[in-house]
A and B are shown apart, each in its own frame.
Chain A
Amino acid sequence: MNKGFISGMVLLTLGLVCGILLSVVNYFTAPIITEEENKIKYATLAEFYTLADYDLSEVEGDGAFGTIYVLKEKGTDNIEALVYTVSAQGYSDSQLVQMLIAVNSDLSVEGYKIVAHQETTGFGADIVENNFNVTVIDNLTNFDTVAGVTKTSNAIKECFTLVSQRAVGDLGGGLSE
């Protein structure tokens, strides 16, 4: 028989055996991997809500919005809360200020967190916790720009403004009813 054909058959057989072996291993490890990955992915969300109490789904946002997490009451279609991933230009050119903002269905803000930024060390993420107290999403009047870190605080303000514009539509009458 042709030598090339035999070599091909050897490799084919080996490939099949290895493929079956890998799919068996994958069958057992894949669910565990998904669970572990979700744990890490939702670690920040878990700071705002007890995730086991809700049905969690994801919507891809457009423009400045990244993933939007939708938390529904278990077993129903009522949206209890939305967690927005939103970014805006701060001081750094290479990395936008990226925030997670959790908004309840009554438009109150459950919490917010800077997830990525490259602002000046010592300011950036810190100023949110120290200077802003946003409790209701459609009231941004107590939101002052901080002197010295104008660009950073403007970025944070822009994040909130974008979310406030969008959340009113999403929660007020659009998605939830």
Chain B
Amino acid sequence: MNKKENFLKGFIKENPLFVSLLGMCPSLAVTTSLENAIGMTMGVFFVLVLSNLIISLIMSNPKLAVLVKPVRIPVYIVVIATLVTIVEMVMHAFVIDLYRALGVFIPLIVVNCIILGRAEAFASSNKPVDSLIDGVGMALGYGAAIMLISIFREFLGKGTLTIWGDLQLNLTFIFNFLKIEPIAMFIQPVGAFLAFGLILAGITAIANNHKNKLAKEVTNNG
């Protein structure tokens, strides 16, 4: 696998949310507005990239790896928890509105399966540079996925797209044009499951279609 493939696999082929179905709980909870999704992405990006890098640095050193191997899961958790606490403190200090909106889901990044999953499945057995690229790709793939869900939910539920603070796209004219009201259900918890299900169904349909085409080509050529 070259570096480009390594980077891109997080977006589609091994997307943590839509393909691996990891870390769904916070993803469904915070996607009520695009702003929350962007904030969550930044938090996850920082933690995932650095945890991948640090863990890979520890595990690629043969002397350290021998020492750490028997207690590697606690070591991963301590590293991840430290990074998450730093994110939490910084967010609390500088973007307090976002801190309040994300609430308990910031500390819960610690137990987000994506981060521990990448640490154990990739960073522990790959070189630091590859792990860094993997972390960036996976975090951006995850970010793209939750932003997609939040755009879907916020647009249908409120008719707006909040990018950051007061920077907001007001798209209610579309609803006015169609003479319907925004569907408030989509910003409630039940809407999260519906939105996620619909998007997942769409993505799976496209993926299956693509697979069938590939299979046909193979049979035709063979």
Q: Do A and B bind each other?
A: yes
Give the residues in chain B near A26, CB-CB below 8 Å. 89
Question: Are A29 and B70 in contact (CB-based, < 8 A)?
Answer: no
Question: Are B93 and A6 in contact (CB-based, < 8 A)?
Answer: no
Contact of A40 with B82 at beta-carbon distance under 8 Å, contacts A6-B67, A10-B67 already known: no
Closest to A15 in B: B78
Residues of A in contact with B (beta carbons under 8 Å apart): 3, 6-7, 10-11, 14-15, 18, 21-22, 25-26, 29-30, 32-33, 36-37, 40
Contact of A10 with B89 at beta-carbon distance under 8 Å, contacts A18-B79, A22-B82 already known: no
CA distance A51 to B198 in the complex (A): 51
Give the residues in chain A near B79, CB-CB below 8 Å. 14, 18
7 pairs, A vs B, C-beta closer than 8 Å:
A6-B67, A7-B70, A10-B67, A11-B74, A21-B86, A25-B90, A29-B93
Q: With contacts A18-B82, A22-B86 known, what are 13 further pairs, Cβ within 8 A?
A: A10-B71, A10-B75, A11-B75, A14-B78, A18-B79, A21-B86, A22-B82, A22-B89, A29-B89, A29-B93, A32-B93, A36-B92, A36-B96
Residue in A6, A14, A15, A40 whose CB lies within 8 Å of B96: A40
Residue in A3, A14, A21, A40 whose CB lies within 8 Å of B70: A3
Q: Does B94 contact A (CB under 8 A)?
A: yes
Instruction: Tell me whether chain B's interface is mostly helix, strand or loop, or mixed.
Output: helix
Residues of B in contact with A (beta carbons under 8 Å apart): 67-68, 70-71, 74-75, 78-79, 81-82, 85-86, 89-90, 92-94, 96
Question: Are A21 and B67 in contact (CB-based, < 8 A)?
Answer: no
Give the residues in chain A near B94, CB-CB below 8 Å. 32
Closest to B58 in A: A14
Give the residues in chain B near A18, CB-CB below 8 Å. 78-79, 81-82
Closest to A10 in B: B67
Question: Are B71 and A29 in contact (CB-based, < 8 A)?
Answer: no
CA distance A3 to B74 in the complex (A): 16
Closest to A8 in B: B71
A10 to chain B, nearest CB (A): 5
CA distance A46 to B96 in the complex (A): 19
Question: Are B85 and A14 in contact (CB-based, < 8 A)?
Answer: no
Residue in A6, A14, A32 whose CB lies within 8 Å of B75: A14
Give the residues in chain A near B90, CB-CB below 8 Å. 25, 29
Give the residues in chain A near B68, CB-CB below 8 Å. 10
CA distance A40 to B94 in the complex (A): 14
Question: Are B71 and A33 in contact (CB-based, < 8 A)?
Answer: no
Residue in B70, B85, B86, B92 whose CB lies within 8 Å of A33: B92
A137 to chain B, nearest CB (A): 35
Question: Are B93 and A33 in contact (CB-based, < 8 A)?
Answer: yes
Give the residues in chain B near A32, CB-CB below 8 Å. 93-94
CA distance A29 to B93 in the complex (A): 6
Question: Are A33 and B67 in contact (CB-based, < 8 A)?
Answer: no
Give the residues in chain B near A14, CB-CB below 8 Å. 75, 78-79
Closest to A6 in B: B67
Interface centre among B82, B86, B93 (most CB of A within 10 A): B93
Give the residues in chain A near B92, CB-CB below 8 Å. 29, 33, 36
List of 6 A-B pairs having minimum Cβ-Cβ separation, nearest first: A32-B93, A18-B82, A29-B93, A29-B89, A7-B71, A36-B96
Give the residues in chain B near A40, CB-CB below 8 Å. 96
Interface centre among B70, B71, B74 (most CB of A within 10 A): B71
Contact of A11 with B93 at beta-carbon distance under 8 Å, contacts A18-B79, A18-B82 already known: no
Give the residues in chain A near B93, CB-CB below 8 Å. 29, 32-33, 36
